[in-house]
Amino acid sequence: MSVPTLRVRQVGWRPPAGPDVLQNVSIDVRPNEFVAIMGRNGAGKSTLLDVIAGLRQPTHGGVTLAGRPLDEWHPTERARVLAHLPQMLRADLSMRAEALVLMGRYPHAARWFESDEDLRIAHEVMERCECLEFRQRTLSTLSGGERQRVYLAACLAQQASALLLDEPATFLDVDQQLQCFSVVRAEADRGAACMAVTHDVNLALTFCTRLVVLADRGIAKDVSVEAALDDPSWLRAFSSRVSIERGPSGTWVRYQ
């Protein structure tokens, strides 16, 4: 079994005033894994990704990235290994889409200006995210879904071995949701360790390799997609109005 790219051990987090959001969360994510982080609103999904990304200091416990404690990494060095797409980003930026994606190349830059190789990589990931046609447009002129595709491309431009994506399919239409998860799954197949927060159970079951369900400030279920389809008890963490359906065309979650 491969060494985990990300190792979270007994992590907890609480705000300055208020109860714990997370308690004793432990999880390993290895190369080639695409882990869906799921749970009801307020379960701590975004908080967990923020802790792993180094944006929040855990109240207790710690995170290891590629075998080293997260707080031992210099921010630039860490950005070569770990990319993070947060849940909310500014929509009023006046920069061009291409310029934002090229920012993903900054951790690799050896000089002040981007190289031809940086530009090639930026265009390649924009094409994969189906947003290359927007490269000369400012972000403020794009729709929410169009911006989301540009933000994802910027993460991919980092060529990181760990991807943390908080609801990457936000604002996307059905076809683009499928494209988004296909792109992330391809990153995992190439060897990246991927984690994505999502509320779409069927997208998770179709593209991810593993489900981690958060509830009651911790991990309620950590299960492979195959095992999740065989034992649907994990669905109770979401709603009593969902169930596993099997038919000639496949297996999916049905909403009642």
DSSP assignments along 155-203, one per residue? HHHT--SEEEEESTTTT--HHHHHHHHHHHHHHHHTT-EEEEE-S-HHH
pLDDT at site 24: 97
**Angle at 46 (CA atoms; ends 156, 173), nearest 5 degrees:** 60
State pTM to two decimals: 0.94
The candidate with the shortest Cα–Cα distance to 165, out of 78, 14, 52, is 52
Query: Does residue 93 carry a pLDDT above 80?
Result: no
SS (H, E, C) 206-252: HHCCEEEEEECCEEEEEEEHHHHHHCHHHHHHCCCCEEEEEECCEEE
> pLDDT of 197-255, one tens digit each?
999 999 999 999 999 999 999 999 999 999 999 998 899 999 989 999 888 877 889 88
Reduced to 3 states (helix: H, G, I; strand: E, B; else coil), residue 20 is: coil
Query: Does residue 174 carry a pLDDT above 80?
Result: yes
The candidate with the shortest Cα–Cα distance to 49, out of 235, 222, 212, 238, is 212
Contact partners, residue 90, CB within 8 Å, separation at least 6: none
pLDDT at site 205: 95
The candidate with the shortest Cα–Cα distance to 165, out of 243, 44, 72, 49, is 49
> pLDDT of 108-144, one tens digit each?
887 667 789 999 999 999 999 999 999 999 999 999 9
Query: Does residue 92 carry a pLDDT above 80?
Result: no
Over range 68-79, report the average pLDDT.
Answer: 95
**Integer angstrom CA distances of residue 112 from 56, 109, 115, 195:** 30, 7, 9, 31
pLDDT at site 197: 98
Residue 82: phi, psi to the nearest 5? -130, 130
62 in Cβ contact with 112 (< 8 Å): no
> pLDDT of 5-47, one tens digit each?
999 999 999 999 889 999 999 999 999 999 999 999 999 999 9
Q: How far apart are CA 191 and CA 60, in angstroms?
A: 30
Q: How far apart are CA 207 and CA 14, in angstroms?
A: 32
pLDDT band per the 50, 70, 90 thresholds, residue 107: very high
pLDDT at site 247: 80
> pLDDT of 138-161, one tens digit each?
999 999 999 999 999 999 999 999
More confident residue, 250 or 61: 61
Over range 69-86, report the average pLDDT.
Answer: 96
More confident residue, 245 or 179: 179
Q: How far apart are CA 43 and CA 45, in angstroms?
A: 6
More confident residue, 95 or 63: 63
List of domains in the chain:
1-81+161-170+192-256 (3.40.50.300), 89-159 (no CATH)
